[in-house]
Amino acid sequence: MRRLRLPFWLKSAAKLIQFLEKAAQVEYATNRNPFAVAVFYVLLGKTRLLASLFKMANESRISDLLGNDFSDLRWKNAAIKNAYVLKAKQRYELSAAFFLLGSKVTEAVSVAKKADATLVLSLLIARVSEKWDFDQDSSGTEDSSQASCNGMATAFRETSAQRETSSIAATPADPSESKCVSAEFLRATVYEKARQCGDVYMCFLVKYLLGETSNAIDVLVTRPAVDMRSVFGDCDNSCTPSGMYWSAFGNSLIGACDLIRFLRKTMAPMKLELKKES
């Protein structure tokens, strides 16, 4: 799950949940450690199963707590209290699990950043909690023309038309609308880290997934101010599967970067020549 960065590129939230369940099963079968899969099973809504795993591990205190009804305000508050205690003890993954039990998704996403600096766990929590597909806009409604990973070519073809209408600003989102944790996390955390790393590919991907296609293209044609390195922090270990995946993704976009930079320089003179001939 983490090594392949699935939450960053798997379009369907339903498929992401399927992979999450398989990952939880494999992880537990490997080491029989319920702490390692706690956040996964809470995300999947299988707290009763998780309680039984803790019981088999002789962790009766946690098992008894997980056996309660977390739709009850009393137990929600108990979960949140435990989450803060675990956070103070630097047990960040388990803290995230208890924040989720207390329906505090934003807090769970935030504390997960400390457990996993690659941000994969945080995005996994956000997307699964909201069941957010990459063909939805930041308010959670479908937008198949924008954020579909399979629709990238279409988006590139439509970019010129979008640029012509870019002077008409989009209407700002209504502040009363419910906040999309996934979109906000991509915008405020992933994009900012990618910008600091000079990772133009992740900057592009974030803008693209948020439906900001024109801005995504601008990212590709603007050279980063710092030396490029992977936002995942594994660029010096390219032999790992995750490094190979990220390298392949980067190589697939570098041609687009070069092509757009070339066209930006050459299209204007070509248009002038065509006008002269006509």
pLDDT above 90 (res 184)? yes
Interval 109-126: pLDDT, tens: 999 999 999 999 999 999
pTM: 0.72
Name which of 90-94, 95-99, 203-207 the model is least confident about.
203-207
* DSSP output for 136-173: B-TTS-B-TTTS-GGGHHHHHHHHHHHHHTTTSPPPPP
Lowest mean pLDDT among 23-37, 108-122, 151-165: 151-165
Q: Is the pLDDT of residue 17 over 90?
A: yes
Q: Is the dihedral of CA 150, 234, 257, 226 positive or negative?
A: positive
Work out the number of other CB atoms within 10 angstroms of the CB of residue 173.
13
Residue-wise pLDDT for 241-266, tens only, equals 445 545 555 555 555 566 566 566 65
pLDDT (average), residues 161-178: 35
Q: d(Cα 97, Cα 66) in Å, to the nearest integer?
A: 11
Question: What φ, ψ does residue 136 adopt, rounded to 5°?
Answer: -120, 150
Higher-pLDDT residue of 64 and 255 is 64
Question: How many CB atoms are closer than 10 A to CB 219?
Answer: 22
Query: What is the rounded average pLDDT of the residues 163-172?
Result: 34
Task: Give the whole-angstrom CA distance, residue 169 versus residue 171.
Answer: 6
Residue 227 has pLDDT above 90, yes or no: no
Residues above pLDDT 90, as percent of the chain: 49
Quote the mean pLDDT of the chain: 78
Q: Of 116 and 276, which is predicted with more confidence? A: 116
Percentage of the chain exceeding pLDDT 70: 67
* Alpha-carbon distances of 214 from 211, 221, 271, rounded to whole Å: 9, 11, 22
> Between the CA atoms of 249, 251, 254 and 259, what dihedral angle is there, to the nearest 10 degrees?
-110
Residue 47 exposed, middle or buried by CB count within 10 Å (0-12, 13-18, 19+): buried
- Residue 82: predicted pLDDT: 97
pLDDT above 50 (res 144): no
By mean pLDDT, which of 92-106, 190-204, 225-239 is the weakest? Answer: 225-239
- DSSP class per residue in 39-102: HHHHHTT-HHHHHHHHHHTT-HHHHHHHTS-TTSHHHHHHHHHHHHHHHHTT-HHHHHHHHHHT
- Minimum mean pLDDT range among 103-107, 150-154, 245-249: 150-154
